[in-house]
Amino acid sequence: MVTPFDEKGEIDFSACERLIDHLIATGTDVLVVAGTTGESPYLTADDCQKLFHFCVEYVAGRVPIVAGTGTNSTKSTVERTRMADAAGVDAIMLVTPYYNKPSQDGLYAHFEHVASKTSLPVMLYNVPSRTGCHLQAETVIRLAEIENIAAIKEASGDLEQIAAIIERTPDSFAVYSGDDGLTLPVLAIGGDGIVSVAAHVIGDEMKQMVEAFLSGQKEEAATAHRQLLPVMKTMFLAPNPSCVKYALNQMGVAVGEVQLPLIPLNDIEKKQVDMVLGSLSTIKK
């Protein structure tokens, strides 16, 4: 979920209400808050605490809530995890520590330590293109043995790695694509779903595609995947979540602008997003 901001750069909780209603109404099964798409590097610990409490209270059990509590400090990750636990979220998502570049043993120790400080289910998050830190399959397989490490959001783009994780972790360990464009390929090798950015714009269509595949309608799912790829690709023309925030605003779901160091789209980028939004009526038929 993107984080709506007002003109002063503060969280706009009224806009959060409208956004949450929009997401739930268009097929979102679980809300992930304060993740990359939520501009987590911009959010202070106080922002996160307020956002976690607000989302739990407003959602009121309609869907589960996963809180992004990972930072590049094990200490602060534990602190944010405790905040999320106290707020009543259903699970946490832990990104690999960025900038520090720990070893694989260091990554194992980090995630093991944080998991030991909470009873909440933990979703690991591997996104080396953003963090400069790659969580290797062997390390994920070791971590999956820890009771409350229950899932991974895999955004490495490496289908061989994802296949190895699926093959060598317990059936109860869920593997989600972290890339919209790999949703169907990840499902095809045994993955469990998608932690999606594009679902802000094409939520119903994404859900229909996943459900078609899982119900054995492979051709229908493949057709939907091909039709939706241009939308998925366009949502990443500029650093996420710049495009999806612009698209939401154009759709009448006001979420404000991205915050520095991210910047709003330029005119050329806006035209490209507008063109894709204009084509959605054809896809949605």
In sequence order, the 6+-apart residues with CB closer than 8 A to the CB of 67 are 33, 34, 48, 52, 80, 84, 87, 89, 91, 92, 93
Active-site residue (options: 108, 125, 176, 246): 125
DSSP assignment letter at 96: P
Q: Is 153 a catalytic residue?
A: yes
Helix (H, G, I), strand (E, B) or coil at 151: strand
Helix (H, G, I), strand (E, B) or coil at 93: strand
Q: Is 176 a catalytic residue?
A: no
User: Which value, to the nearest 10 degrees, does the dihedral of the CA atoms of residues 77, 82, 84, 89 take?
Assistant: 120
What gap in Å lies between CA 217 and CA 170, rounded to an integer? 26
Q: Which of 148, 137, 147, 67 is nearest to 107 (CA)?
A: 137
Which residues belong to the active site?
125, 153
